[in-house]
Amino acid sequence: MSDLKKTLPTEYMVLNMGPSHPVTHGTVKFLVTLDGETIVDFVVDIGYLHRGFEKMCENSTWEQVFPYTDRLNYVPPMINNVGYALAVEKLLGIDVPERNKYIRVIASELSRISDHLTNVAASGLELGAFTAFLYFVEARELVWDMLESLCGARLTSNYVRIGGLKNDLPEDFKDQTTAVFKRCRELWSDVDKLLTKNRIFIDRVRDVGIMPPDEAIAWGFTGPCLRASGVPYDVRKANPYLVYDRMDFEIPIGEKGDNFDRYLVRMEEIIQSMRIVEQALKEIPSGPINVDMPEYRWQSKDDIYNKIESLIFHFKTVTEGIKPPPGEVYFAVEGTNGELGFYLVSDGRGKPYKCRVRPPCFPLTAAMPRMIKGSLIADVVPTFDMINMIGGECDR
C-alpha cells in the first residue's frame, strides 16, 4: 500500500465554488479543498453583496431606513420592517395601538411563511426534487399575493412606519386568508408526502451538517437551526413582543441538529405561523393603527392639507426627521433565520448615529466549515440550503 502511494501520488483538488454557482444563491464563495469527493478544507468568503447598509442608514433620516431594511433578508421583508420599527419605538419610548400590533403580527407571520416556503422549496430543488420546489413556489405566490393586497408590493414592502403602518388591512383580507391557507395546506401536505418520508431525501439530509446544542450556542446559532439542535429559544416566546404572548402556538424542536431536523422544524413552523395568522385575524380589535403623536407619525393627508399644526409637524419630520432622545437600544425580533436584532444609537438628531443589524444568518454561515468538513461535496448542497444564508442580510 505504501509503495502504491509512492508511485501513484495523489494531490488535493481546489475548487472555487462560486460566487456564481448554482448552489450559492446569494453570491458567496466557497474555497473547497477536495480529497476525491471528501472535503478537506472549506473556506467561506462573503461580502459580495455588501452595500454598506449601516453607512447608508447613518446618512438617512430614521424613516428613510425602512426601504433599506426591506433589502436585508428580502424574502420576508415585513419582519425586518417590524423589527426596525419596534427598535425605534423602544428608543422613543412609545407604544403603538392594539390593532397595529395585530396587523404587524399578521404581516410578520405571512412573511415567515413565505420565507420558510422558499427555503424548503429551494432545498428540494437543489437536491433534484424539482416538483416539490414548484408546489411550494405556488404556495409562496399566493402568500405574496396576500402581502401585495396588504401593502401593494410583493417583495420590497416598506409597509411599517415608526408608530404606525402605511395603511389598514384591506376589507376582504380575512376571506382571502381562508382561501389561500386552504390551498397552502394542500400544497404543504403534497410536499410533505413528496419529501418527508422520501427515502432518498432522508438519506441526503439525515446526519448531514450535524450541530450539537452546546456548539450551536457557542457559534451564535438562533432560529430554526438552533431549535433543530434541540434548544428551545424563540424570541417570540422568550421575550414576547407585539401580541405574541396572547397567541397559542408551538415551538418545534429537533433532536439531532442535522439538516433533516432543520427541514422538519421549518415545515412545522409554516403550520404554526398559519395558526398565528388565523388567531390574530379572529381576535383583531378595531381602532386606529397609528399613534396620535404628530411629532413621530405623520397625520392623515386630510389633516396635513387642512390644519396648519399638522402641516408644520409634517414639514419638520420630513425635512429633519423625527428626533429620538439620545441613547441606545437593542431590540430583537424573531426573524426567519433567527434573532434579528437592531442596535440603534441616537445622538438626538434626525438621523441614526448608528444602526446596526444583528444578521441571523451571519453566524450560521460562519459555522459552515464546522458543519461540512469531512463530508462529501454533495453535502454542501443541503447544508448550505438549510442554513438559508441570504446575501442581502449576511453582507448588508
Partner 1 sequence: MEHMNVTLKKLKDSFPDSIIDTHSFRGDDTAIVKKEHIVKICEFLRDDDDLLYNFMMDLTAVDYLGREPRFEVVYHFYSLKHNRRVRIKAPVPESNCTIDSIVSLWIGADWFEREVYDLYGIVFKGHPNLKRILLYEGFEGHPLRKDYPVKERQPLIGPKN
Partner 2 sequence: MLAELIETIAKIMFIFGVNMGFFTPILGWVERKQSAVMQDRVGANRADIFGFRVIGLLHILADAIKVLTKEDFVPAGANKFFHTLAPFISLTPALVTFAVIPFGGQYEIFGHKVNLVIADLDIGILFIFAFASLATYGTVLAGWSSNNNWSFLGGMRASAQMLSYEVAMGLSIIGVIMVYSSLKLTEIGAMQAEFFRWGIFLQPVGFILFLTCAIAENKRAPFDIPEAESEIVAGYFTEYSSMKFVMFWMGEFLEIVTISGIITTLFFGAWHIPFVSNEMLLSIFGFAGPDGANILTMLINIATFFVKIIFFIWLQMTIRWTLPRFRYDQIMKLGWKILLPLALINIFITGLVLLVK
Give the footprint of partner 1 on this chain (CB under 8 A). 46-47, 50, 52, 54-55, 59, 90-91, 93, 215, 217-222, 231, 233, 238-239, 327-330, 332, 339, 341, 343, 345, 353-354, 356, 358, 362-363, 365-367, 370, 395-396
Q: How far is the CB of 393 from partner 1 (least distance, A)?
A: 12
All residues at 6 or more sequence positions from 175 whose CB lies less than 8 Å from its CB, including other chains = none
Minimum Å gap between C-beta 267 and partner 2 is 15
Of residues 201 through 230, those in contact with partner 2 by CB under 8 A are 201, 203-204
Q: Which of residues 370-389 bind partner 2 (CB under 8 A)?
A: 376-381
**Choosing among partner 2, partner 1, none, which partner's interface includes residue 15 (Cβ < 5 to 8 Å by kind)?**
partner 2
Instruction: Kindly tell me which of 66 and 135 has the beta carbon lying closer to partner 2.
Output: 135
The entry of partner 2, partner 1, none near residue 151 (CB within 5 to 8 angstroms by kind) is none
3-state secondary structure of 344: strand
**Nearest-approach distance from CB 355 to partner 1, in angstroms:** 10
Provide, rounded to whole angstroms, the least separation between the CB of residue 264 and partner 2.
16
Residue number with CB closer to partner 2 (289 or 381): 381
Name 33's bridge partners.
14, 41
Binding-residue pattern over the window 167 to 206 for partner 2, x denoting contact by CB under 8 A: ---------------------------xx--x-xx-xx--
Burial of 239 (0-12, 13-18, 19+ CB in 10 A): middle
> Any contact of residue 288 with partner 2 (CB under 8 A)?
no
Nearest to 82 by CA among 242, 236, 222: 242
125 binds, among partner 2, partner 1, none (CB under 5 to 8 A by kind): partner 2
C-alpha 230, offset from chain centre: 20
Question: Hey, which residues between 19 and 78 contact partner 2 (CB under 8 A)?
Answer: 21-23, 37
Q: Which is nearer to partner 1, 191 or 340 (CB)?
A: 340
3-state secondary structure of 340: strand
**Distance (Å, whole) CA 35 – CA 14:** 9
Extract long-range pairs of 348-352: CB within 8 Å, 24+ residues apart: 348/323, 348/324, 349/321, 349/323, 350/61, 350/62, 350/320, 350/321, 350/322, 350/323, 351/58, 351/59, 351/60, 351/61, 351/62, 351/321, 352/57, 352/58, 352/60, 352/62, 352/65
Question: What's the rounded Cα separation, in Å, for the pair 60 and 66?
Answer: 10
Supply the DSSP symbol for 38.
E
31 near 18, Cβ under 8 Å? no
Peptide bond preceding 19 in cis form (omega within 30 of 0): yes
Number of residues that bind partner 2 (CB under 8 A): 30
Quick one: what does residue 314 bind among partner 2, partner 1, none, with the CB cut-off 5 to 8 Å set by partner type? Answer: none
- Closer to partner 2 by Cβ: residue 13 or 238: 13
With contacts defined by CB under 8 A, name the span among 57-65, 127-135, 210-218, 347-355 that binds partner 2.
Answer: 127-135
Q: Is 242 left (phi over 0), alpha (psi -120 to 50) or beta?
A: left
Residue 391 contact among partner 2, partner 1, none, beta carbon within 5 to 8 Å by kind: none
Binding site for partner 2 (CB under 8 A): 13, 15, 21-23, 37, 124-131, 134-135, 138, 194-195, 198, 200-201, 203-204, 376-381
